Amino acid sequence: MAWYARFSAWILLSLLVIPIFAEPQKITLDRALELFYKNNIDIIIHKYEVDKAYAEFVGARLLPNPSASFSYTDVQFGRGGIYAGDNTQWTVRLDELVEIGGKRGLRKAVASESLESARLGHQDVVRNLLVGFYSLFNDLILDDLNIAFAREEVASLDRILAVSDERYAAGFLTQIDDEKLNLSRVDLENEMTRLENQYENDLELFNVLLGSPTQVMPAEPADIPASVDYDAETLIRTAHQNRTDLLALNKQIEAAQNAVRLARANAKPDLSIGAEYDSLGPKNSPAFGLGLSLMIPLFNRNQKDIMIATYEVSQLQAQVAKITRQIDADVRQGLNNYRSSFKIFDSYRKKEKDLEGLREQSRQAFSLGGITVLELMDTQKTYRDFKSKYNQALVQCRLNEELLKIYTGGIQ
């Protein structure tokens, strides 16, 4: 039964090891975004800012707590111990603060606008994180394209080397030319190793960004970018309506304006109304009383808080002007980047078939002895450089269009 024990151990080891080295699952952009929104740790951390703003809103709606007091007077100390004197009095009192000038309503308004600003601010944090998400997603697409092309080039060069070895054995090719071709294969393998290492590193960052419980990798989109004639002014108007950083600032201004009103209301004195029950003298004669207290705003009329709140409004309005200009610049720069990247990609796309044909012709010509090794290697290098730039232009064109949507607030 020793063979059965060894076989069982091998099966168990396979079940444990195979999942570790399993190929990452390919996921679409929509699925990647779903994981990103759900699991990204930076999004989760910042979400607590919204929760804290909600807690402030809850606190702003609460009424002041009443205060209760108890006092006992005329306690005598003598040789006989502790005893009550003739003027004994004990009092139970209850006081409640009554806010004047609509302070509670204004406090709720400030907290409500601040809560909405926090929610919009959270959305803007997500929007900014999306820049890194889309950049990394497209970096992995580019890595994958370059690795696939490098593997294709290695396989293609192996076929050329088979012809080269035959020609060398037949005496139609010098040893140095044969070695040059073999060395070019080493260079290709080293480049593929570099690309695979870059891909693995990017993949680790991508899975950290998504917080995925299992290893995932982007699936390359099947579509080829098509030119879209975006209008700059239309995009800018859309951005002014949708950009959450601008919307959050506007909510902060509304909160600050209510804070000015609250600061002015706080200059008005609040009332403190109290009721008490007294027991007087040794016969414990009962008595009831009412009290009313009012602070006199003689010296401090809350000037400091009013001034600070007013300056806060002016500061936020200046920030709105700055953000508006930045949004305009973001959109125009994003549109310029998209247009230029599409022109670059389109120029490479128009030459793709020509370069592929040239590469194939050079291989056939080398097989027939029509061109030298140097000419073949020069053609191969030209095509590899072209294909690398083509892949880069393709991915950059997609990325710039996605970034343009982020800059206009279309993706958040």
Q: Which of these, 397, 404, 401, lies nearest to 236 by C-alpha position?
A: 404
Q: Are residues 209 and 94 in the same domain?
A: no
Q: Are residues 116 and 230 in the same domain?
A: yes
Residue 332 belongs to what domain range?
A: 24-64+100-267+302-407
Which amino acid appears at position 403 of this protein?
L
How far does the chain reach from its first CA to its final CA, in angstroms? 62
Angstrom CA distances, 176 to 121, 164, 179, 180, 245, stand at: 65, 11, 5, 6, 64
Strands 25-27 and 216-218: parallel
Q: Which of these, 159, 260, 195, 118, lies nearest to 391 by C-alpha position?
A: 195
Q: Are residues 204 and 328 in the same domain?
A: yes
Cα(242)–Cα(270) distance, integer angstroms:
42
Q: Which of these, 335, 75, 148, lies nearest to 229 by C-alpha position?
A: 335
CA atoms 54, 56, 62, 66: torsion sign = positive
Q: Which of these, 392, 310, 296, lies nearest to 348 by C-alpha position?
A: 392
Burial 9-47 (b: 16+ CB within 10 A, else e): eeeeeeeeeeeeeeeeeebebebbbebbeebbeebeebe
Given this model, what pLDDT does residue 74 score?
63
Cα(199)–Cα(404) distance, integer angstroms:
26
Given this model, what pLDDT does residue 159 score?
87
Q: Are residues 111 and 82 in the same domain?
A: no
Q: Residue with structure tokens 């709105």?
A: 320
Is 10 part of any domain?
no
CATH number where 400 lies: 1.20.1600.10
Q: Which two tokens stand for residue 59?
A: 């606190």
Neighbouring-strand partners of residue 83: 76
Q: Are residues 94 and 230 in the same domain?
A: no
Is 8 part of any domain?
no
Angstrom CA distances, 248 to 115, 121, 265, 326, stand at: 10, 6, 25, 15
* Main-chain phi, psi angles of 80, to 5 degrees: -85, 0
Cβ count within 10 A of residue 51: 10
Is 3 part of any domain?
no
Q: Are residues 344 and 389 in the same domain?
A: yes
CA atoms within a 13 Å half-sphere pointing along the CA-CB vector of 184: 25
CA atoms 120, 123, 125, 127: torsion sign = negative
Cα(341)–Cα(397) distance, integer angstroms:
5
DSSP state of 1: -
Cα(121)–Cα(39) distance, integer angstroms:
19
Number of domains in the chain: 2
Q: Are residues 94 and 108 in the same domain?
A: no
Q: Are residues 322 and 175 in the same domain?
A: yes
Cα(158)–Cα(56) distance, integer angstroms:
69
Is 19 part of any domain?
no
| Predicted confidence pLDDT, tens digits, the chain (412 residues) | 444 444 444 444 444 444 444 578 989 999 999 999 999 999 999 999 999 999 999 999 999 899 999 887 766 666 665 655 566 777 888 988 888 889 899 999 999 999 999 999 999 999 999 999 999 999 999 999 999 999 998 888 888 888 888 888 877 888 888 888 888 888 889 999 999 999 999 999 999 999 988 889 998 887 888 888 999 999 999 999 999 999 999 999 999 999 999 999 988 888 889 998 887 766 667 778 888 888 888 888 889 999 999 999 999 999 999 999 999 999 999 999 999 999 999 999 999 999 889 988 888 888 888 888 888 888 889 999 999 999 999 999 999 999 999 999 987 6
Given this model, what pLDDT does residue 264 score?
92
Is 193 part of any domain?
yes
Is 47 part of any domain?
yes
Q: Are residues 226 and 177 in the same domain?
A: yes
Cα(69)–Cα(93) distance, integer angstroms:
5
Q: Are residues 375 and 248 in the same domain?
A: yes
Is 161 part of any domain?
yes
Angstrom CA distances, 259 to 68, 247, 307, stand at: 31, 18, 11
Spell out the residues 6+ positions from residue 264 whose beta carbon is closer than 8 angstroms to its own: 302, 306
Q: Which residue among 301, 317, 351 closes a domain? A: 301
Given this model, what pLDDT does residue 119 score?
97
Q: Are residues 106 and 221 in the same domain?
A: yes
Q: Which residue among 284, 301, 318 closes a domain? A: 301
Q: What SS3 class is residue 231?
A: coil
Q: Are residues 387 and 258 in the same domain?
A: yes
